[in-house]
Every structure is written in structure tokens, then in C-alpha cells.
Structure 1
Amino acid sequence: MATKTNYEKNGQKYYRVTASIGRDSSGKLIRKEFYGKSKKEAELKRDEYIDGIKNGLNSNFKDVTLGKLIYTWLFEVVRVSSNIKPSTFERYEGIYRNYIKDSEIYSLKLNNLKSINLQRYYNNLYSIGKSSNVIKNLNKLLKTFFNYAVNEGYMIKNLCAGKNIVIPGESTVIKEEIIPFTDDEIKSIKKALEKNRLKALILLDLGTGLRRGELLALKWRNVDINNCELVVKETLKRVTIINEDGSRTVETLTHAPKTKHSYRSVPIPSNLIPILKEQQRIQKLDKLKSGDSYISNDYVFTTEIGNHIDERNLTRSYKRILEKADVKYRKFHNLRHTYATKLFQRNVPLKTVQVLLGHSDINLTANIYTHVIPKEKSNAVDKLNDLFM
């Protein structure tokens, strides 16, 4: 028996049904057509569409692809948000450009998208050598985007929420071991810093544990030499600004610290005060030498003409200092790790260390410094030995 149709287009026969989906601005009914190879198929498409609208889905949801909507979201919503730092948008754009644009999931329609589509893509990425951390960051971005898509009516649920997705290889990720500088290495570094412009910066990091960006953004107005205290209010970072037309410019910007807990007061060891006063003297001499070309911006650590220190130049200079000290290279961030480790070794409570470091969660501090805390636990238990004498 032949399938009954009621419409023909380009030599092909279809069954067509129509439905009212609302009214336009003038009050006129809006009618939409649905096509199928049979009446049943056409009516099924109509019912799915109407059910989607009833569930809060956008009326154009069936035509929207993942790639196009995430691009629109990134550049027309995220990029202009006052809540997003330029460095965060730079990271988001990089994930989109490297792992969504031109990928196998770019052209998938949101109404047909399933968790298994994403899972297969993640598995493929892992099979070609992408790390679990890369895939995890991609999943985080998609999860944030899907929240937007659900709120705007393009999807019914967030496919990355809950336990729908497994990050391949995540359980095998090995945490990088933290190797703080030893007391002997610190002595060698201090010796290598004599007559070096970075002496105050590096020693202050060892004595306060500030992040690199917090150090570079530190201003004299936030340093209380008399009371041996500084206040962290800003961070400085070199970022790529991605403009609306896709062009890129590199700028060094100051912005709010990492989290609200990063706003903090940090005591300065009193033995560092003379070194900070020497830093003030160096800057006064720089100003005399540079004259009108000197840039007065109140930064504690500056170049010879008063400009802020570029983080790449700091890294290069830091490497040369370690080479001169004959100390094995560790990342600049290890100065901060060394500060925290020395506090634990001196029996400073975990909660206090968390506050001084500006961590948002005490568990974060505990997880990072598990290499130190077990030793302190053992030392604490040793104090009970007298019970068994």
C-alpha cells in the first residue's frame, strides 16, 4: 500500500501538517509547517516541536548548532561581562578555538546532542594524547555554556551536569610534587641576590608567600613599614585581549585578586623591613637618574624608569639568579610553596596558613601541602611518648 502524501517539492512527495505556534507583534497567528515521509512522521515532528516550546525551549532551538551558539555566547555575552577577567576570557577563547571550532562536535544540533556525543569526543581526545586536565577544562567550559543554553531555552538540561560525563584517565593524573627550597638553598639564593634589583622582590616572596601577580601589582600605599604589614588588593597579569573582530592585542593589566579570600593582610617579617627601605632608596636614585622620563606609579617593584616589571622578564631574571646560586631550577611559584612549608615546619596552624596564602578553602591548603602535614602529625604523636615510659 502506497504511503499517502499531500505535498510535493522538487519532485519529492511529503506529508505536510501545520500548527499555530503563537502570534506576532500585530497579533496575527504564526503558523509553522512540518514535513515527513508520512502523516505520522510529520505529526511527530510537530508534536516534538510544540512540546519543546511548552518545556521552555527557544522557538528556533531545532536549528541551532553547538559551535555557532557557543561562539555567540563567548563573544557577545562572556566577553562583555564585567564579571569575567580578560585572562579568563583568553582561556575560554583558547579552549573554543582549539577544541570546539573545526571539531567533530561543532556542527551538532543542540536538540540532538546527547552526553554520549561528548563522551566519545573526550575519549577521542584522550586517545590522541590530550591530557585529562585539558579535557576537564573543556568540560568545565561546556558545562558553563550549557547553563546559558538551558536558561535561554535552547536545551532542556545541562549534559555536563551530574555524573553523565566521565573524564578519561582522570584517576591516573599524578599530582606534581612540591619541592620547596631548603635552608641551604635559600642561603645560596640570598648570596646570589646581593646587588641584584630583584633582591627585595624575591626575599619578600619568601617572607610573605604572595603570588607572582600580587607581588608585581603591590604598591607602596598598601605597605605599612612601621607596622610590618602589607595588604593584597590587586594582581598584575599579561593577557591577550581578544577584540570583537577577532584581532588580538597584548596588554599588562591590574585587576581584582583571584578570589575574595585573596584580599588579605599579610605580616612582613621584621628582618625584611631594612630591605624594603633599601628598595625605596633604589627607586629614589632611579628617579633622579631618569628625570622627567621616570614613570611615577607607586609600584614597589619597578624597572629603572619606574615602569612595572614584565612577568616574562621576571621569570628570565629569576632563572639566572638560580643558576648563579647553583640551585636546581624550580618554578617561581615554589617561593610561595617554600613560605607555606616553612610555616608548617614552625607549627603554624593550618587555618592560619590558609588565611595567609589567601586560599578560599582550608581543604585546598591541606591537599597542596600533604607532603608537610603528615610529618607534623608524626611530631605531634611523638609528644605522647611519655605516656608509655
Structure 2
Amino acid sequence: MAITKKKNGKYQVRVYVGYDHITGKRKTKYVTCETMREARLKEAQLITDVETGELVPDWDKSKVQKHYTFDEAYEEWFDIYKRQGRTESTVEKTKYYFEHYLLKPELFGGMYLERMTRKEVQKKVNKFIPTLVTSKTILSYAKTVINWAVDNEEIECNDNPLEHVQMVQAKKMPKRDVRYYNDHQIKLFESGVREFYNNEPAFVAIYTILIRTGMRIGELLGMKWKDVDYEQSIINLHGRMSLVHGVGKYEHGLKNGDDSRTIEFDKTTFNCLKVWQQEQRLNTLSQGKPITRDDFIFNYSRDTVVSRLNAFYGWYNSSHSEMLPYLNIHGFRHTHASLLLSNGVDLKKVAERLGHKDITITANIYADVTPKARREVADKFSEIMGDNV
């Protein structure tokens, strides 16, 4: 406790009020007064306030909890979330979930978190979950926001009602005819693609690369000519084309977090790329804008690749005696992996080629790889038992 006269002629009162329990540093209250008499009176008052408990250090004060709405909690949580190094496409997808579902009155928009009862939340969840295939994923974001508010003691409750709701059955994904092609079907598909796109080498190259490398559609559309090494027959992937606000945007790095991945390609892929590069070179030269190594190999959107694939199926199944079941774009990646695995290629090598961070991801996806592989398992067991086959 002390009173000192400052250079400006005023008097500063300094009174010790305690120690910070976390840092251990001594804390002092300062007050400036005009006269010595006023300073002495203020000093006496502060000492009394400390002794009677009227003057409580900030760190000893109870935290004032807010009556938070779900929307307010989301705004604060999302401000941190978007600055944690996630890709722009991931951040935009998360924002979409909130703006189109979670912040709507039908779910949690405008609700005070401390007033959310399990019964009320359960009713909302029961109505929402069956409406979407991704409903449970969307609700997991809501749970994260509420946990964040509870952990930061921002609301007057110590529990998250979403931790206790019973999850009803979500909307099921429509069952596809096939998840991937067998070796006979994929040969029919390749033959049909060369026939249908006889004068469009770009699309021959697109579907050939998807089939024969197993790369993702975003990786394919993010390829640049400098990524192709013809001498070693390899493609060095460094980025991908992601959807941001429904528009393709190039992002450095790959989906699994790796900076790059190298994929070896075969002679058929080599020839398709060469033919398309020559076609593109002639087209751009005629326009006075020759292609460079930094140009994208395929300047098409995902929608275009998908719509042209649908057009192919319509043509093929109306003009051939043997029908090809519809397979979506990602199905070519599944086809590539399943054919490799069912023909004895090591699981670890397939995982590396697909760009799976963990081999268990590949194992889980292709646990039932193909009928051919399942037959081999049964036959192997019979062989072990010494049966006469």
C-alpha cells in the first residue's frame, strides 16, 4: 500500500489485493486522485473493501454465463473452426450444413442452449434423420458446437442433450445395380467408350484414366500437363479440383492431407494422353493460345464429365445386345481397386495407389471385394482340408 506523487502533480494510490491463483503473480489495484487528502481517503476505502470482500479480484469472480442461442455459439465456434487449416471446400461444406439445416427453426435455429431439453431435441431429431442420407453427419456438427459451448462454460448447463438422443434410421442411399464392374464389363465399357467418343479424344482419355489409375475425379480435373512424366510413365498429383459454392476451384494438396502422390500408368493410358495432348495443342495453336505445362489437362466441370457419361450409357444400352449397368464416376475407382485385389495385388500397394492414408480404409471398403475373390477363399479352405475338388 502506498501513495506516490506523479510528475503531472496527481497522486497514485496502490493497494495490494491478492495473488493470481493460476500465474502466482501479485495483483495490485491502482487509483489516481487529484489531491493527497483524496488519495488517503481512497486508500482507506480500498483497504476496507479488500478486508470486507467488497473488492474481489477478477480471477476470483464467478464467470458470468450467457444465455446463448445455438446461432451465437455456432458463430463463435465456426470462427475458430475455419482458421484451423482445413481446406476451403471442407469449410464451405460445413457452413452449408449449418445454413441449410442446423440453423433452421426446424432444428436448432434461435434456440437457447440452456433450455434445450432431451425430449424436445429427440422430437426434432426423429423428424430430421429420416430425411437425408447424411443426417447423422450433420447432427454430429451440432453436437460439436454444443460441446464447445459447454466446455467453455458459456452456458448455464453442464450437459449436451445431443449426447443422449436415440438415433433413428437415417434415409438409405438408393441401392445401385453394381458398385464396380467385373473384368468382362470393364472391357465392354472401354470398347464402347472408344467407339462412342471416336472423335473426342479428351473423353476417351478421361474415362481411361479413371479406370486405369483409380484416381478421384477431383484429382483428374486438377491435373496439369507438367504433372505427366512420359519418360517414366508416371503422373505426379499435387492438387485437386474441389467444389466451392458449386464451382470448381483448384486446391493444393490431396484429399487425405498428403502434398502429393505418384501414380504409374500403362501403355493404353500413355497413348490416350498423347492423342489428347496433340489434339489440344492443335486446337489452341489455331486460336493463338498454345497450351503450356501449367495448363490443366482437362478443362471440364464435374457435371460435364457426369452428363457425358450418362449420354454414353444411353447410347450403349440402346445399341448393344449386352447391357452395361449404370456405374457412377466413383465406381471406376472401386472397379480399379477391386480388380487389382481380386487378382492378387498386395493390399498395401493398392492402398498406396488409391491414396488411402491408412491401409484399414482400403481393407474396410473392399472387405467383400468381388465374387471371384470370395470363391478363391472358399476354394483355398477346401484345399487346406485336402478335399477332392
Q: State the TM-score, normalizing by the size of structure 1.
A: 0.71
Question: Tell me, which stretches of 5 or more residues in structure 2 are unaligned?
Answer: 1-19, 21-26, 31-58, 318-323
- Are 2:375 and 1:378 equivalent residues in the alignment? yes
The whole-number CA distance in structure 2 between the counterparts of 1:361 and 1:257 is: 14
- Are 2:70 and 1:69 equivalent residues in the alignment? no
The whole-number CA distance in structure 1 between the counterparts of 2:217 and 2:343 is: 24
The whole-number CA distance in structure 2 between the counterparts of 1:251 and 1:388 is: 57
Which residue pairs with 2:108 in the alignment? 105
- Are 2:153 and 1:149 equivalent residues in the alignment? no
Contact 2:225 2:295 in 1 (8 A): yes
Q: Secondary structure at the match of 2:249?
A: strand
Percentage identity across paired residues of the two chains: 21
Contact 1:110 1:154 in 2 (8 A): no
Number of equivalences = 321
Q: Deviation per CA, 1:176-214: give whole Å up to 9, x if none.
A: 454323132332223223221211121011110110000
Residues 101 and 143 from structure 1, CA distance in 2 versus in 1: closer, same or farther, beyond 3 angstroms?
Answer: closer
Residues 383 and 125 from structure 1, CA distance in 2 versus in 1: closer, same or farther, beyond 3 angstroms?
Answer: closer
- Within-5 A mapping of 1:341-356: 341-356=338-353
Amino acid corresponding to residue 309 of structure 1 in structure 2: Y
- Within-5 A mapping of 1:333-348: 333-348=330-345
Q: RMSD of aligned C-alpha atoms?
A: 3.5
- Are 2:292 and 1:289 equivalent residues in the alignment? no
Residues 253 and 229 from structure 1, CA distance in 2 versus in 1: closer, same or farther, beyond 3 angstroms?
Answer: closer
Which residue pairs with 2:52 in the alignment? none
Amino acid corresponding to residue 329 of structure 2 in structure 1: F
Residues 281 and 335 from structure 1, CA distance in 2 versus in 1: closer, same or farther, beyond 3 angstroms?
Answer: same
Amino acid corresponding to residue 169 of structure 2 in structure 1: G
The whole-number CA distance in structure 2 between the counterparts of 1:149 and 1:330 is: 44
Residues 346 and 275 from structure 1, CA distance in 2 versus in 1: closer, same or farther, beyond 3 angstroms?
Answer: same
The whole-number CA distance in structure 2 between the counterparts of 1:124 and 1:377 is: 40
Q: Deviation per CA, 1:110-151: give whole Å up to 9, x if none.
A: 33445554333211324xx413x3321222212332343245
The 10-residue stretch of structure 1 (267-276 or 368-377) with the greater mean CA deviation from structure 2 = 368-377
Q: State the TM-score, normalizing by the size of structure 2.
A: 0.71
Residues 329 and 253 from structure 1, CA distance in 2 versus in 1: closer, same or farther, beyond 3 angstroms?
Answer: same
- Are 2:124 and 1:121 equivalent residues in the alignment? yes
- Within-5 A mapping of 1:148-187: 148-154=148-154, 159=160, 164-170=164-170, 173=172, 176-177=175-176, 178-181=178-181, 182=185, 183-187=187-191
The whole-number CA distance in structure 2 between the counterparts of 1:120 and 1:189 is: 50
Residues 271 and 106 from structure 1, CA distance in 2 versus in 1: closer, same or farther, beyond 3 angstroms?
Answer: closer
Greater gyration radius? 2
Q: Secondary structure at the match of 1:198?
A: helix
Contact 1:344 1:372 in 2 (8 A): yes
- Within-5 A mapping of 1:201-350: 201-240=206-245, 250=247, 252-260=249-257, 263-292=260-289, 296=292, 298-302=294-298, 308-326=299-317, 327-350=324-347
Could you list the runs of 4 or more consecutive aligned residues of structure 1 that deviate by over 6 angstroms after TM superposition? none
- Within-5 A mapping of 1:183-194: 183-194=187-198
Amino acid corresponding to residue 206 of structure 1 in structure 2: I
Contact 2:122 2:165 in 1 (8 A): yes
Q: Deviation per CA, 1:41-86: give whole Å up to 9, x if none.
A: xxxxxxxxxxxx98x99x3433211122213433x3334x252322
